[in-house]
Amino acid sequence: MRKMDFILLIDFLTLVAFVVAMIVTYWMFQSIPDTLVATFIPASGLELVLTAVIKVDDARRERKWQLEDRKSKHKNEDEDEEE
C-alpha cells in the first residue's frame, strides 16, 4: 500500500470513528460538543484538500517530465537522421 493511500485510509477511519463517537455521545447526553465538531471536521477537510493538491501536483510534474522526455527523444531521432 502506498503512503498516500495509507494516509487516506487512516483519515477515513478517523472520520468514521469520530462520527460514531458523536452519535454515541448524543445518544447518552442528548447533545454533542459543538466546538469539537466545528474544529475537527474542517481540519479533516483541510487535510484531504492538501492531499488532493499534492496528488494533482505530482501528476502535473510527471506529465511535464513525460513531455520533456518525448521532446528529447524526437530531437535525438532528428539528429540521427541528419547524420
Q: Which residues contact 15 (CB under 8 A, 6 or more apart)?
A: 44
Q: Which of 20-24, 43-47, 55-59 has the highest mean pLDDT?
A: 20-24
The C-alpha cell of 48 is what? 484531504
Q: Is the pTM of this model over 0.85?
A: no
Helix (H, G, I), strand (E, B) or coil at 83: coil
Alpha-carbon distance of 26 to 28, in angstroms, equals: 5
Asked if residues 44 and 14 have their Cβ atoms less than 8 Å apart, the reply is: yes
pLDDT digits (tens, 9 = 90+) for 55-67: 888 888 888 888 7
- Position 63 scores a pLDDT of 85
